[in-house]
Structure 1
């Protein structure tokens, strides 16, 4: 038993990935690498409910802060930005984001929407989870960029290039009937 435990705790795992084509192999290999990194992050700092529910709960926690003026506006901006990933997820699933947001905000804890079936459920029990480290890092990096943008006097960006429309299809050859 001690030998088995030692192999599991300090050992090395080998994951063999196979596929029918080179492209499929590369994709599967990247998925395995991502899964290993997510697992390590979850082991390091734990997990939270996925489906962007953790960010919604973080935004709800800002309601207890008493603020005035610009500080209050800043808190509202942060709250709205914490809702955006959830809204995008729901929108990508083809659901109404306003209705989904109101349904989830009425819930608490790990309750969220499983976008595969549209049902409200405990996301942790359903296996829909995110590593805390990933969620925390995303928030810290977003805050860092926001501070940099707010304290910068000038920003330089590229203007989006307008793509010209495709040329019309050429006409048929002379003397040939049109179908």
Structure 2
């Protein structure tokens, strides 16, 4: 594989490793917010209107920012009827073919995310709830997570292509 491809794979995987490991800690922030709400309601009888939405926003950030890292460590669920019986080289060949579908899907998702983020920024879009938070920050995070998954999908494609050719990328 050319040096530029190796550098791309190394850089993308390093970025996704850092972002994914940082995103893992969002679960603790979400637990803290939900516990705060529970104590507030139980002990002080004060309901907090922003807790559910904030929990949903944090969960979306958690799985979208961690998605590329999950792809990198092969942590996604895979439908395995015939795939598990294949040799590593044949698995890589199968993955190079299916990568085109994944990349196409992520490109379409990214285009929708960019459009939705642009709309939220242009019109100062807010959620229609009692709290009414602006939606631009979570849409920016979601679009960034989709972008990282797209970069990781291309890196995985190059890694599998090298494996098909009998090479291994570090």
Greater strand percent: which structure?
A: 1
Q: TM-score range with shorter-chain normalisation?
A: under 0.3
More contact order relative to length (CA 8 Å, sep ≥ 6)? 2
Give the greater-gyration-radius structure (CA).
1
Q: TM-score, normalised by structure 2?
A: 0.24
Q: TM-score, normalised by structure 1?
A: 0.23
